[in-house]
Structure 1
Amino acid sequence: MDTLASALPTNKGSTPILHNAAASSPEAVLGANNDDKKYLTGWKLHSLSAALWISLFLSTLETTIVSTSLVSVTNALNGFILRDWIVTSYLLTYTGFLTIYAKLSDIFGKKTMLLLALLIFTLFSGLCVCGIILRAFQGVGASGIYAMILAIAPSLVPISKYAKYMGVMSTVFITASVLGPILGGFISQHSTWR
């Protein structure tokens, strides 16, 4: 980044103003030079984006889908007094592991941590029917999915397209959050939660 910083005197005295001529564009402010970096395009970008968005959709959907079927789930597990822990355990681990995943991705890489998160989430999605505590481990996986997708997204598209890309990601997140209770209610009325 070209920094032409010079101290210019102000009108009122000798206090200098730092002038940076290169900081006129968003790319310069963020320190990115889009000409030097190669981004994914075509089917590779669309395939990867679809995979990331489906992962985000499913992990976000899982956050809210149980809210309308809590009574039937806890009655089936003989733990109605523990019903609050179905949601709380998931959200505690989800929130608690966000920064841990971010730090581990600096050490082991974003791809590795995303694959690990997907493995944990998928494994415990199947096992959480056995007990409430396993839902907490499912939250660990969902946390990694969310953290890694947000860490990977800036490297997929140039800064000029990033706002649109994040808009689509936000739409996926919101859609999953809204559809969760609706699908949970539909499933608990017309089928079994297992």
Structure 2
Amino acid sequence: MNTFTHRLVMASMLALSAPIAWSHGTEQHKASMIEAGRTTAKASVSIPMAADDAVAALERFSNALAAGDLPAASQELSPTVLILESGGAERSRDEYLNGHAKHDAEFLKSAQITLNRRTASVSGDLVWVASESQIHAMKGEQMLMILSTETAVLQKVGKSWQIVHLHWSSRAQK
């Protein structure tokens, strides 16, 4: 087969297979297809050892929030935490826990969260952690497929790390 014919065959195969490859977003999903929980096994991670304890505190917060354990989640937050999400702001741990945290916990309780990428950096007693995740959840009969980003800043207080800032952003996955 000459080069031209080979390219023509390959181009035809790609053209015929494209609708199948691109059709994922329109298929119907059932709630039973979602396994609630958090997966980090396949994530691309770049975390210096000096940030390990801070990242562990962020993980404890995330796991507690997803489990609906707001008292445990509160242990990881600074009393003066600033949380930014969807154009809104909670300016303290109490403001968040007495308001939006309950909605976040309810949403996350049945969501499947897959961490795709995480990176962190240390500067003195501060660590920032940037995470990119994929979230699948049901809203009524509709499956939501969301790409989510999180930026967390943690500060060392004594021997432990506290979250002093969180910024969450998300969009529908296409």
Query: TM above 0.5, one fold?
Result: no
Structure with the larger RCO, 1 or 2 (CA within 8 Å, 6+ apart): 1
**Greater per-residue strand proportion:** 2
TM-score normalised to the size of structure 1? 0.24
TM-score normalised to the size of structure 2? 0.26
**Greater per-residue helix proportion:** 1
